Amino acid sequence: MSGPLYFDELQVGDSWESRGRTITEADVVNFAGMTGDFDPLHVDHEFAKETPFGRPIAHGLLGLSLLAGLSSTAPSMHTKAFLGISQWQFLHPLLIGDTVRVRTTVTALNSKNRRQGRVTWQRQLVNQAGEVVQQGEFETMVAATPLRLRRNDEPSVAQRQSDDKRAAPATPSAGQRRSA
C-alpha cells in the first residue's frame, strides 16, 4: 500500500498482522519508572520466584501500550481520534523475552458523514508461541477520502486540459528570453 488508508477503503473482515517486538527487562524497568508501578511482581526477581510465574512478568499495561504502537502501522490509517477500548482481557502473562505481534481485524464500520467514520477493531496481542496474551476492541474515528481525491469527483480530461490552458503562463518562443 502506498500510504495510510481512509475509512471508505476499509471493509468488515479486513485484517493485518504487525511486525514483532521482543519484550526486554529494560522495557519493564523503564515502564515501572514512567508509571511508578514498582510492584515486586514486575521488578523483584527473588519475590517473583515465589509466584506462580516463577519469574518477573511485564506489566499488563505495557503489553497494551505495545499493542497500540505496533498496531499503528498495521494498518496505517488517517486516524482523527482514538475513542475507546472495550472488553479488554489479560489472558496470559507477558514475560521478559517474549516476542509479540498484533493481529487486527475490522469488526464494524459506522459512517458518521462524508468526512469520517467510526471503526471498531478486534485487536489481539500474540506471543511467539501463537498464544493470545491480551485481546479486546479499540474504536477510532478515521477520515474518509477527501472529495478532491475521490475518483468519481475528478474532473474529466477535457476539463483538466481547459483548466491547464487557462492557468499556464505563456511560453516564450524559441530565442526569446523570459524576464525574471
pLDDT tens figures, 99-141? 999 999 999 999 978 899 999 999 999 999 999 999 999 999 9
160 belongs to a structural domain: no
163 belongs to a structural domain: no
Query: Cell numbers 524576464 correspond to what residue?
Result: 179
155 belongs to a structural domain: no
91 belongs to a structural domain: yes
175 belongs to a structural domain: no
pTM: 0.80
162 belongs to a structural domain: no
93 belongs to a structural domain: yes
Length of the chain: 180
Tell me, what CATH number does 81's domain have?
3.10.129.10
1 belongs to a structural domain: no
Give 81's pLDDT tier (boundaries 50, 70, 90). very high
Backbone angles phi, psi at 146, to 5 degrees: -60, 145
Compute the chain's Rg from CA coordinates: 25
- Which whole-number Å values give the CA distances from 149 to 6, 144, 154, in the listed order? 11, 10, 7
Our count of domains for the chain comes to 1
Residue 67's nearest CA partner among 92, 34, 97, 103 is 103
Backbone angles phi, psi at 45, to 5 degrees: -60, -40
Range of 17's domain? 7-149
